[in-house]
Structure 1
Amino acid sequence: MSTLATVPLAGIARNLSGKTAETIAYKPHILSTWNHGMPANDKAWEVLETGGSILDAVEQGVMVTENDLSNLSVGLQGLPDREGIVTLDASIMKGDGSCGAVAFVRQVKHPISLARKVMENTPHVLLAGEGARQFAIAEGMPLEEEVLSPNAEKAYERWKENAKYQPIINIENHDTIGMIGLDETGSLAGSCTTSGLAYKMHGRVGDSPIIGAGLFVDDQVGAATATGLGEEVIRICGAFLIVELMRQGRTPQEACEEAVRRAVAKSKNLDSTQIGFLALNKEGSFGGYAIRPGFNFAQHHANGRSLIDAGSWFN
């Protein structure tokens, strides 16, 4: 049976062989952002154990979060834009460079599955808005009734009293689930799905569906994903940057820390910004880092499952 532990990344300092946390390697290995990554990882691990591919695992894993009616940052139950409409973003990528994404899509219960269909059934990488919705219909995906979930509706009615957009650190108004995984053969894949910033301008798209920003995967190097304020991630091409830093020899932890340094340097409003990065290299070593305390991530491998508090630029 897998065991559950909640530990700070700095607290996993060394195992019995003297390796630091960032150099401990596991195959297979699943990582995903935030507390809701725990049940998502459990599903991904189940998929791998029953013969599914790493691509199947990262798709079906985040579908758990897309289905979670208590989650206000992922799926159709998420918080709406300022018009009271829920719009979704998602991307998926394999280590061979295959990728697909959807942005600003409405009424699709599982945008991650639609992103996979873009990857596998079209010559394109990204479909948006009504075009993405029409593609979902053409692919036989049922559309859901466009109503707010009870929790989202209550929150939206409270927001309308002042109707002011203001990001709040570490709450569910910009907390994507990003998942990256490595199977026992060394193949990598990743997924990312979100309902985006709460009360955003209608039409806003964040980093989650942008290949190279919210997600990037390369079998020769590793994978990375991001969560937090998407505009700040896009400015530095965060996930691609981390993979390229690993290609140059940085550990996953070092690469995440450098990406945070770049984001801090570029931020237009650092007081209201939180970003968290996760990285996994082709050997199975991992890293995670954020601008501010509060970012945690879920880990699953053959020796157990953990919820880890990441280190941060500000302590």
Structure 2
Amino acid sequence: MDRRKFIRNSSLGSAGLLSGSSLLSCEGETTKAAVAAESGGPIAVCTWDFANATARAWEVLNQNGSVLDAVEQGVMVEEADPENQTVGYGGRPDRDGVVSLDACIMDSEGRCGSVMALEGIVHPVSVARKVMEDTPHVILAGAGAQQFALESGFKLKDLLTEKSKNQWLEWQKTSRYNPIINIENHDTIGMLARDKNGNLAGACTTSGMAYKMRGRVGDSPVIGAGLYIDNEVGGATATGVGEEVVRTVGSFLIVELMRQGMSPQKACEEGVARIIAKNNGKLDFQIGFLALNKKGETGAFCIHPGFSYRKYDTQGHRNIPSESYLKS
């Protein structure tokens, strides 16, 4: 996975499948978030360079499948890929060598489901959907989530691959039991989609921060933080250090900003600005948002350590730095 590319966008218009294109780089090379479906056409977007995931989601939509099926099956591609060490099977473990997974899903009717700290199940997003559809609850966690998954027909699997195990053993040699939070150890996949009828859905799934404390949960399974859908307005999802997203209820914030008239791009920029402002302009973590509105317009913004950030411009207005400033 090329982590320089934050967004991979696939969309369907009357001419058929359009090739994916990078909307935003987390290295300061911003591009226009202009790739969107033609009027009324389906669209699927996701964080990072997961072209196979968006391709699968688009395939479901193209076959007149539901938008909920599209986002679920799209992110399942990455959950099952042992080479993706930030999601599902093959994910990097916690400090104790245990792989635990977080995921959530939300549909156009406002229904949602979530699992937190789930162990031994390859597809937490599917368990989250079961929570949404088959229980009176929104969230199941830990041993209870695993019990529910097994009772629902999911099978146990050892999620720790040799590659991730060996990296964990190597980390133990030099760690102070305090893993460095950087752009290499947490790349959530969040997916947003719209069907031909204009209905929206989203899913978010991750193995969380590498070498986290046992039981740590980030933003990914938290409705309103890692993911939020409002079928009247649009949807948003987040990636990066989950603690920072939770503190601002980031995805809900972005959807509300779009409700107030902001474009998806401006809303994502403002969401990042709020987080940086709460940290007094300090940036020692990565954070990014992806948004899709009802019209099919997309937006994304991502920053990480190494970026300079000027909180306000000379007139005292909140300022999102330009590309040239980010590179300075």
TM-score (norm 2): 0.83
- Structure number with higher relative contact order (C-alpha < 8 Å, ≥ 6 residues apart): 1
Q: CA offset at residue 270 of structure 1?
A: 3.8
Residue by residue, what CA displacement relative to the aligned partner does 1:215-263 show, whole Å, maximum 9, x if unpaired?
0001000000000000000000000000000011111011001000001
Change (3 A) 1:7 1:224: closer
Distance in 1 between residues matched to 2:38 and 2:271, nearest whole Å: 21
Change (3 A) 1:133 1:312: farther
Among residues 82, 86, 96, which one is paired with 1:73 in the alignment?
A: 86
Change (3 A) 1:4 1:285: closer
User: Does the 8 Å CA contact 1:39/1:64 hold for their aligned counterparts?
Assistant: yes
User: Does the 8 Å CA contact 2:119/2:146 hold for their aligned counterparts?
Assistant: yes
Check if 1:212 corresponds to 2:224.
yes
User: Does the 8 Å CA contact 1:178/1:225 hold for their aligned counterparts?
Assistant: yes
Change (3 A) 1:205 1:5: closer
Partner SS, residue 272 of structure 1 = coil
Match of 1:186 in 2: 198
Among residues 130, 133, 143, which one is paired with 2:146 in the alignment?
A: 133
Among residues 30, 38, 45, which one is paired with 1:31 in the alignment?
A: 45
Q: CA offset at residue 150 of structure 1?
A: 1.4
TM-score (norm 1): 0.86
Gaps of 5+ in 2: 1-16, 307-322
Match of 1:285 in 2: 297
Distance in 1 between residues matched to 2:256 and 2:137, nearest whole Å: 24
Q: CA offset at residue 87 of structure 1?
A: 0.3
Structure 2 counterpart of 1:76, one-letter code: Y
Residue by residue, what CA displacement relative to the aligned partner does 1:87-125 show, whole Å, maximum 9, x if unpaired?
000000012110000000100110000000000000000
User: Does the 8 Å CA contact 1:22/1:252 hold for their aligned counterparts?
Assistant: no
Partner SS, residue 103 of structure 1 = strand
Match of 1:301 in 2: none
Residue by residue, what CA displacement relative to the aligned partner does 1:278-311 show, whole Å, maximum 9, x if unpaired?
00000111100012389xxxxxxxxxxxxxxxx7
Check if 1:197 corresponds to 2:213.
no
User: Does the 8 Å CA contact 2:81/2:89 hold for their aligned counterparts?
Assistant: no
User: Does the 8 Å CA contact 2:254/2:271 hold for their aligned counterparts?
Assistant: yes
Q: CA offset at residue 21 of structure 1?
A: 2.8
Corresponding pairs, count: 292
Distance in 2 between residues matched to 1:93 and 1:54, nearest whole Å: 10
Partner SS, residue 95 of structure 2 = coil
Q: CA offset at residue 148 of structure 1?
A: 1.8
Q: Which moved more, 1:220-229 or 1:154-163?
A: 154-163
Q: CA offset at residue 136 of structure 1?
A: 0.4
Check if 1:275 corresponds to 2:287.
yes
Check if 1:91 corresponds to 2:107.
no
Q: CA offset at residue 7 of structure 1?
A: 6.1
Q: CA offset at residue 23 of structure 1?
A: 8.6
Distance in 2 between residues matched to 1:207 and 1:4, nearest whole Å: 27
User: Does the 8 Å CA contact 2:44/2:58 hold for their aligned counterparts?
Assistant: yes
Give me the identity figure in percent: 52
Structure 1 counterpart of 2:83, one-letter code: S
Gaps of 5+ in 1: 14-19, 295-310
Match of 2:311 in 1: none
Match of 2:166 in 1: 154
RMSD of aligned residue pairs (Cα, Å): 2.5
User: Does the 8 Å CA contact 2:120/2:159 hold for their aligned counterparts?
Assistant: no
Distance in 1 between residues matched to 2:142 and 2:280, nearest whole Å: 28
